[in-house]
Structure 1
Amino acid sequence: MLQLNIKDETAKLRAVVLGTAQSCGPTPKAEDAYDPKSLEHILAGTYPKEEDMILEMEAFAAVFEKHGVEVFRPETLEDCNQIFSRDIAFVIENKLIKANILPDREKEFEAILHVLEYIDPQHIIHAPEEVHVEGGDVMPWNDHIFVGTYTALDYPNWITARTNKEAVDFLRNQFPDKTVKSFELRKSKNAKENALHLDCCFQPLGKGKAILHKNGFLVEKEYQWLVDFFGRENIFEITADEMYQMFSNVFSISPEVIVSEKGFTRLNNWLRGHGFIVEEIPYAEIAKQEGLLRCSTLPLIRE
């Protein structure tokens, strides 16, 4: 059996579900794009090729292997994009919560049922239908749970709005001993301004550090709350272009070890300057779908 345990974003990782780029299907039609960045690349003819994305994901898997992490992969579904396993479920403490994602992505969850067999069924929670939530918007951080949300009245009109007010209430009920802190995210049809998930504009790191992008937040005082929480001197503030490139979507294997995209020179130098070990891998093709390293993982067990 797998004894689920996730209390934060950085403790030493023991087991993870890493998505797969196998059989991810042809380039989608423009009208089927889920986010503005994918749409941009579909229209420009630069949408990533399956073989390139497979190579990038294998590089990620190799880093996990090097660090002794047990890696599970989804069953391959024909012509289905299964790269972003963070969207389909997430773990807090010893509970795995199935995300209510876009309906046509439901089968992605079924592709990890072979992993769920190792988890006590009492620890698998299906959120009620009115709760919209994706793992990219949910970050357990010790006695806090940080949640990215969008609660304006036009919520139903935004395909990029993935986590609603009901999700925040649901998490408060599920984890009454934690402080659930929500942040309103900026939704936009412009990929350079759209914060698809909280992890597109914020990421806590080991050593008390964090990555942040001010314009990803709709409410300045919510952004300021994070600055005060971590301390301005501990924050790597990214530009709009760096948010677009997904600089905040790196992944911590431990408090010291961070997997990052090899092209993130400014960030990687800063991380090394603060004593982190940076495992650089190519991930720029996958980034074209408005998701990166954190999005591709579903951590199950950290120490």
Structure 2
Amino acid sequence: MNLHITNETSRLRAVVLGTAESIGPIPTLEEAYDPKSKEHIKAGTYPKEEDMVKEMEAVASVLKKYDVQVYRPKLIEDYNQIFTRDIAFVIEDKFIKSNILPDRDQEIDAIEHVINQIDPAKVINLPEDAHIEGGDVMPMGDHIFVGTYKGADYKDFITARTNLKAVEALQKIFPEKKVVSFSLKKSNTVAKDNALHLDCCFQPVGKDKAILYKEGFLIEEEYQWLVDFFGSANIYNITRDEMYQMNSNIFSISEDVVISEKGFTRLNTWLRSQGITVEEVPYAEISKQEGLLRCSTLPLIRD
């Protein structure tokens, strides 16, 4: 397999889509990785497996409609394998394994059948102390955008997933690119104040547009850098509630086609006004785990 990913919006050809089958029992509050999941566990509204399976199959149908090669993880009984974006990511022709929460390391083994099709020299393991998840990493041509948390209390936040060691490691792997890091707001307890990953508060879309949530960034100058990069006329700003509903976590099949949650009325209307075809799917149940469409896809090849 010849990997090729240089941005978020070029025509998608191959992707790993997670699976919601056999995700196991509802986690306890102690087992939950994020504040939004904890909210739904407490409220008794944690998503049912059968509903999430239907939502993911709706995405699989859209991908197949656009002739995208779709890989799925091998099933591990009673194990959550929805969010494949966390476990690895591709930049250029390199497949980089994430260093993620220890409880989740079986997930990468479940896509071994995909990794085995890649030149072993292109499969990269980062240093053990470089913590990173794919939701924090966005290739953008000559740039790589990375969400991170730089505070001395990093270890106190289960929601802090990417550290500065990982940012430095990416710069060494891709010396010809400019790696730009963004400090994200973190909260273990309040979902509306937590940018779990960069794609929870920012995502490029179309040819030159971006979805952005200002309050997800700890440092205003870093938010402003993105506004200047895209141009303020090309920015679609989302509200705190829209961030909570994961409006920035849609998924591009091409510059002209995106998959989006059917309930994102304001966003979907804006996307269509930009000449983008919106393939609407139900994904509100999966979003209860603080992840949406980008989180559950791992692109391998784009034109």
Provide TM-score, normalisation by structure 2. 0.99
Deviations 1:123-176 (A, max 9, x none): 000111000000000000000000000010000000000000001100000000
State the match for 1:136 in structure 2: 135
State the match for 2:249 in structure 1: 249
Displacement of 1:207 after TM fit? 2.2
State the match for 2:18 in structure 1: 19
State the match for 1:169 in structure 2: 168
Distance 2:221 2:83 in 1: 30
- Secondary structure of 1:192's counterpart equals helix
State the match for 2:157 in structure 1: 158
Distance 2:38 2:31 in 1: 9
- Secondary structure of 2:107's counterpart equals helix
Task: Indicate conservation of the 8 Å contact 2:9/2:207, yes or no.
Answer: no
Question: Counterpart of 2:225 in structure 1: which amino acid?
Answer: W
Question: Counterpart of 1:155 in structure 2: which amino acid?
Answer: Y
State the match for 1:42 in structure 2: 41
Unaligned runs of 5+ in 2: none
Distance 1:205 1:143 in 2: 17
Question: Counterpart of 1:285 in structure 2: which amino acid?
Answer: E
Distance 1:56 1:217 in 2: 30
Matched positions, count: 302
State the match for 2:300 in structure 1: 300
State the match for 2:290 in structure 1: 290
Deviations 1:49-108 (A, max 9, x none): 000000000000000000000000000100000000000000000000000000010000
Deviations 1:14-40 (A, max 9, x none): 000000001001110011110000000
Distance 1:258 1:70 in 2: 16
Distance 2:9 2:213 in 1: 20
Unaligned runs of 5+ in 1: none
Distance 1:197 1:207 in 2: 23
- Secondary structure of 1:186's counterpart equals coil
Distance 2:74 2:206 in 1: 32
Distance 1:25 1:241 in 2: 29
Deviations 1:258-279 (A, max 9, x none): 1000000000000001100000
Distance 2:25 2:195 in 1: 26
Task: Indicate conservation of the 8 Å contact 2:212/2:248, yes or no.
Answer: yes
Displacement of 1:193 after TM fit? 1.0
Task: Indicate conservation of the 8 Å contact 2:186/2:193, yes or no.
Answer: yes
State the match for 2:105 in structure 1: 106
State the match for 2:69 in structure 1: 70
* RMSD of Structure 2 on Structure 1 (CA): 0.4
The alignment status of 1:266 with 2:266, answered yes or no, reads: yes
Provide TM-score, normalisation by structure 1. 0.99
Aligned residues: percent identity?
68
- Secondary structure of 1:32's counterpart equals coil
- Secondary structure of 2:95's counterpart equals strand
Distance 1:156 1:117 in 2: 33
Deviations 1:175-224 (A, max 9, x none): 00000000000001210110000000000011211000000000000000
Stretches of 4+ aligned residues off by more than 2 angstroms: none
